[in-house]
Amino acid sequence: MARLDGKVALITGGAKGFGLSTAKLFLQHGAKVVITDVDQAGADQALAELDSDNVIFIKQDVSKEDEWEPVFKKAVEKFGPVNVVVNNAGILEFNDAEHITTEEWHKIQAVDVDGVIYGVKYGIKYLKEKGGSIINLCSIAGLIGISNLYAYNAGKGSVRILTKSAALYCCEQNYPIRINSVHPGYAHTPMVDAYPEMRQDLEALHPMKRLGSAEEIANMVMYLASDESSFSTGSEFVVDGGYTAQ
């Protein structure tokens, strides 16, 4: 029996990177998958790569609350009740505490924080009757400071702690929903590979002396999506090649 048989999963930012790798793994293990993204061209390529009748794409800007309800409704219409929500969509820009602009700040927070807040809010609404798992893709930047990722640090730190608050709320309400965060180190995704000049320095930051793969991060997301993680909620799962052990 596949690990996600009978489950319906919604994955934001599913056109590439962690989202696409997670979609591939979920499909292999029996799930029906809805991927969302702002990148229509990337999504077309992703759907061709996934090549399955059990996946659909819905264009979505996660930072806009009014686009969330239609996504869940379309997912339910196509595949039935949603069991898994992976809040993966995110953006990164370099900035620091002295020179950041208001525009840069709000741009990052809109996607990396507001997009997760809405994903959790509507995830609870649509999962609370039958239960399931909400997984928030965070980062080691939600655990440690990085001087040139000021806004991203703040956003991922927010995701880390709002995950715990939401998980406790669901327990208090007796909703059968688990909510956890995943904290990757630097891994091969379009976001990181866009800076090839930094690769050697980034590899050196990890005791394992390499970057992670998107598939290695997806494996952790798979565990949290499956019933194997039935006693885990409000927790942070680190997949960082030893980075934060130092």
CATH 3.40.50.150 is the classification of domain 8-239 = no
Q: How do the pLDDT tens digits run along the chain, 246 residues long? A: 689 999 999 999 999 999 999 999 999 999 999 999 999 999 999 999 999 999 999 999 999 999 999 999 999 999 999 999 999 999 999 999 999 999 999 999 999 999 999 999 999 999 999 999 999 999 999 999 999 999 999 999 999 999 999 999 999 999 999 999 999 999 988 878 888 888 999 999 999 999 999 999 999 999 999 999 999 999 999 999 999 999
Answer whether 0.95 is exceeded by the pTM.
yes
**119 closest CA partner among 188, 78, 177:** 177
The rounded distance, in Å, linking the Cα atoms of 179 and 188 is: 25
Half-sphere exposure of 93 (CA within 13 A, CB side): 17
φ and ψ of 36, to 5 deg: -125, 155
What residues are labeled active site? 152
User: What are the residue ranges spanned by the domains of the chain?
Assistant: 8-239
The rounded distance, in Å, linking the Cα atoms of 170 and 127 is: 11
Number of Cβ within 10 Å of residue 232's Cβ equals 15
115-127 and 68-79 helices cross at what angle (nearest 10)? 40
